[in-house]
Amino acid sequence: MENRMENEVSILVNTILEDYGNGRAIDHIDTFNQPSRDAIVDIIEKLRRIVFPGYFRDKVYKIYNIKNNLSVIIEDVIYNLNKQIAIALRYRENVKEDGAEQMEAKAQELTLAFLRTIPKVREFVDTDLQASFDGDPAAGSKEEIIFAYPGLYAITVYRLAHEMYRLSVPLIPRIMTEHAHGLTGIDIHPGATIGKYFFIDHGTGIVIGETTVIGEHVKVYQGVTLGALSTKGGQKLRNKRRHPTIEDNVTIYSGASILGGETIIGKDAVIGGNAFITSSIAPGTKVTVKSQELQTLL
């Protein structure tokens, strides 16, 4: 019986190894030449310590002088992010060993360029925090929002990933926002453009597509979709506007869907819950779904 099982295992291994030789995307076995999701998640947490220096201190670091502590974290991020970006560049370009040195140099430039955007990211996140506090009477303090609100977490990760996306870093920005998506249920593509004072209330089920443009002081509730009108064109639609524009001071209530690259929601508009919108809305307009008729059963 034991010999039979060993033979069956050997046959299965050879069969599956043979299947790996078909040259498909799912057949890649050189995992060390692809970015590590675990390493990127670790980088996200270190970046959050930089963005919120007094909130997420790593107890492993025994250096409590802020300058020395920041130096240690930044050196850690530079080393690991540079490594992941270099892997992502080689993976995208399918670079062989003779081109690895060039990719390393480019990765160093991109890593440093990204880290130089941290003050800008913090400026925007500070406005998002203020919008969250001003817009939610249930918030007891800004500290509560930083520690507990999934919306601010998703926005912070998006802000970081967006700067990397703007530098044309492959793969990593999407891994970052999908990690936040998995934790919070909030799906923000790193390519979306979002202005200051962005507030996500509750957040579960929100989808914000790649070419979405959002102005300042916009408030979005759970279950909102800012999506494409149609994706039937598939890859032919790449780099084309597919998602709506939301102008300043717009509020979008739960369950609303706003679709299409030519759809513009004018400033100061209010979009009611469960509205389905595929054409532009004038500034200052209030859109509501007709009230359902209630019937009492005796």
Q: What pLDDT does 17 receive?
A: 81
Q: What pLDDT does 97 receive?
A: 59
- Please check whether residue 175 is in contact with residue 160, taking contact to mean a CB–CB distance below 8 angstroms: no
Q: Angle 100-115/66-93 helices, nearest 10 degrees?
A: 140
Q: What pLDDT does 119 receive?
A: 96
Architecture of domain 192-288: 3 Solenoid (2.160)
Q: One digit per residue, pLDDT tens: the chain, 298 residues?
A: 667 788 888 888 888 888 888 888 777 766 556 889 999 999 999 999 999 987 766 656 555 677 777 888 899 999 999 999 999 998 776 666 556 778 889 999 999 999 999 999 999 999 999 999 999 999 999 999 999 999 999 999 999 999 999 999 999 999 999 999 999 999 999 999 999 999 999 999 999 999 999 999 999 999 999 999 876 666 666 777 899 999 999 999 999 999 999 999 999 999 999 999 999 999 999 999 877 676 777 6
The domains of the chain are located at 30-185, 192-288
Instruction: Of 145, 169, 141, 167, give the one whose Cα is nearest residue 156.
Output: 145
| CATH of the structural domain 30-185, one choice from 1.20.120.160, 1.10.3130.10, 3.40.47.10, 2.40.10.10 | 1.10.3130.10
The pTM (predicted TM-score) of the whole model is 0.87
Q: What pLDDT does 96 receive?
A: 60
